[in-house]
Amino acid sequence: MAGARAAIRYAKAVLNVASNQKLAEVVNGDMKLIANTIAESKDLGEMLESPVTPSSVKKAVLLEVFKSSNKNTLQLIDVLMNNNRINILNDVALKYNQLFDALQGVEHATVTTAVPLTAELKQQVLSKAKTLTGKNVEVKNIIDESIIGGFILRVGDVQYNASVANQLNNLKREFSLN
C-alpha cells in the first residue's frame, strides 16, 4: 500500500516536471517502454525486487537497458536509486501512464471476445465507447473462449456483458427459479 502511494507521488512529480518542459509525451513513451520491458523480462523484475543485488548493479543495468531514454526518465531512476525505492519503478511507470492518459482525456476500454476483433468491429467498439464516455478511448482486446460468443465491454467502472455464456447463465437461473 505504501509503495502504491509512493509510486503515485513519484509519477505526479515526474509528470509535473515533464509537462513544464513540454516533454510529457516523450517521457510517457519512456514509461511505456519501462513498464513493457519489466513485464516481459522476468529477470529484470526479479533483479529490481531483489534485496541481494547491489544498487550499483541495478543502476548499471537500468542505465544500459534504458540508455536512449529522456533525461527526466534517467533522473527518475537516479532518484529512486538514491531513495532505495527502485523496486517501485514499474509501479511509477504504470501510474505515470495512467496520469498522462487522464491528462490527455484518454479512457481505456477492454473488450473480451471469443475470437480476435476485426479492424471493422474494433472501429465500431471505439466509436460506441467514445459516445458513451465523451473521451478518446483506447481498446484492448482480450480473448476468452469461455464466453462462447458475443462480447464483454468494460470502460472504467462500467461493464456491459453481451456474451453468450452470460445469456445462457441468465436462462439457466430463470428456469431454476420456476
CATH assignment at residue 49: 1.10.520.20
Domain that holds residue 111: 106-177
Query: Which residues fall within 8 angstroms of residue 8, CB to CB, at 6 or more apart?
Result: 95
Phi and psi at 122, nearest 5°, equal -60, -40
81 in the same domain as 148? no
77 in the same domain as 14? yes
Please count the structural domains in the chain: 2
pLDDT at 178: 64
pLDDT at 2: 57
36 in the same domain as 50? yes
pLDDT at 46: 94
The residue among 102, 130, 145 that closes a domain is 102
71 close to 30: Cβ distance less than 8 angstroms: no
pTM of the model: 0.74
CA distance 156 to 109: 7
- What mean pLDDT is reported for the chain? 90
pLDDT at 159: 84
The residue among 102, 117, 136 that closes a domain is 102
pLDDT, tens digit (0-9, with 9 covering 90-100), for 42-60: 999 999 999 999 999 999 9
48 in the same domain as 81? yes
118 in the same domain as 81? no
CA distance 89 to 99: 15
pLDDT < 70 positions in the chain:
1-2, 178
35 close to 69: Cβ distance less than 8 angstroms: no
121 in the same domain as 94? no
76 close to 10: Cβ distance less than 8 angstroms: yes
130 close to 109: Cβ distance less than 8 angstroms: no
121 in the same domain as 33? no
